[in-house]
Amino acid sequence: MTRQSTSKVYFVDIDGKRDDGVLSRLERLCLAAGLSDVVDPGDVVAVKLHFGELGNTRMLRPQFLKVIVRLIKEQGALPFLTDCNTLFYRNRYNAVLHLETAWFNGYDHAGMGAPVIVADGLRGLDYRRVRYRADLLEVKVGAAIYEADKLVTVTHFKGHDQSGFGGIIKNLGMGAIARSGKLALHSASKPTIDRARCHGCGACLEVCAWQAIRRDREGLFVEAESCAVCGNCVAVCSRKAIDFAWDMDIMDFQKRLVESCAAVLANKQGRAFYVSFLVDITAFCDCRSWSPLPLVGDIGILAGCDPVSVEQASLDFVEQKIKEVHGNKTLSDFTGVDGELMLTYAEQLGLGSRRYELVPV
């Protein structure tokens, strides 16, 4: 897609005073935006979302996903709900905890009508290495997402204190890559081993292909000169003993996030669909274990086949609403970070167009 092209972005508002409910509007939106043109009978379809953290109630409501799952199944396809394990040690850093969190938050097979699969496996070691372009970041895409025939990305748009905003780029660039691969996005330094926590099991030794983990009389340690920051040691440590610094430069982080998103979509060109929910819009991501207050009221839902256009339209709607409610402030005034770079860079890489035609449904 060229820089000068214009993509259609479809929109429904979320005003509860109308006779038709938001779920019926969501259905009309997805059909108008072309979901049925993307999904074919027999397709295995990855529905990428964020299941929310324990203690956070701002993540997307399961009812929204039920509608999307039903529409996919009506096309004769086979949907599954998916996300990858987290780098940080909370309640989604391995598949067991992740599935329990998803279940607690309302996402399970029985309720949703589709199985829930953690895309990068039990500990974040089930992935496929992908580069969007030879000169860009190599990314560990969650195997289940990579191997799916089609991808439907369902995103809760909100602020983020590292990327400026969390939308489609963040949902895929961070959320669709394996736990072991997330370290390269967040940290500019080498991991270390906290010997007070480590009990010397050697699991990290077994997965380090560069033999950067050594053992001396006092225990295990990382030889920084040999470490490639692959993150496998972080993924397998059951004692939470692998330490790392969240020290990536903001602009570098944003660019890596876009490159990661591009790698996730490398084998999904023409085979992906995007839905962006402008509800419960807070200054923080859904990884928080508490529920921040929304910055503005609910706005609506956007959908389309161009991730950059849908992302740009989402940001435009939110920025306009923030100005109406908070005067001349912008989203970056609440997050401390301007996310505009990600959209510019995504367009430069050819992921889509920032220019769009808004089509109310």
* pLDDT of 3 higher than 60: no
Reported pTM: 0.93
Task: Provide the strand spans (E) within 69-126.
Answer: 78-83, 116-118
Q: State pLDDT tens for residues 114-139.
A: 999 999 999 999 999 999 999 999 99
| Across 86-111, average pLDDT | 94
Strands 150-156 and 272-278: parallel
| Across 320-330, average pLDDT | 96
What's the CA gap between 240 and 298, in Å, rounded? Answer: 38
Q: What percent of the chain has pLDDT over 90?
A: 84
What's the CA gap between 85 and 120, in Å, rounded? Answer: 7
* pLDDT of 223 higher than 80: yes
Angstrom CA distances, 269 to 97, 208, 256, 266, 305, stand at 32, 33, 20, 6, 10
Task: Give the number of other Cβ atoms within 10 Å of residue 41's Cβ.
Answer: 8
Q: State pLDDT tens for residues 48-75.
A: 999 999 999 999 999 999 999 999 999 9
Q: State pLDDT tens for residues 273-299.
A: 999 999 999 999 888 888 899 999 999
What's the CA gap between 287 and 77, in Å, rounded? Answer: 30
What's the CA gap between 45 and 149, in Å, rounded? Answer: 6
Q: How confident is the model at residue 212 (pLDDT cuts 50, 70, 90)?
A: very high
Average pLDDT over the chain, rounded to an integer: 94
Residue 2: its pLDDT value, please?
A: 43
Residue 244: its pLDDT value, please?
A: 85
Q: State pLDDT tens for residues 160-204.
A: 999 999 999 999 999 999 998 998 898 888 999 999 999 999 999
* pLDDT of 1 higher than 60: no
| Residue among 284, 353, 285 at smallest CA distance from 313 | 353
DSSP 177: B
What's the CA gap between 123 and 106, in Å, rounded? Answer: 22
* pLDDT of 89 higher than 90: no
Which tokens sit at 265? 């979509």
Positive/negative CA dihedral, 129, 172, 351, 31:
positive
Instruction: Please tell me the least confidently modeled range out of 14-18, 210-214, 328-332.
Output: 14-18
Buried b / exposed e along 322-350 (16+ C-beta atoms within 10 A):
beeeeeeebbbebbebbbbbbbebbbebe
Tokens 């339209």 belong to 313
* pLDDT of 77 higher than 60: yes
Angstrom CA distances, 233 to 68, 104, 128, 139, 183, stand at 37, 28, 17, 17, 10
Q: Which helix (H) or strand (E) holds 242?
A: strand 242-243
Tokens 């996903």 belong to 65
* pLDDT of 16 higher than 70: no
SS3 27: helix
Residue 17: its pLDDT value, please?
A: 66
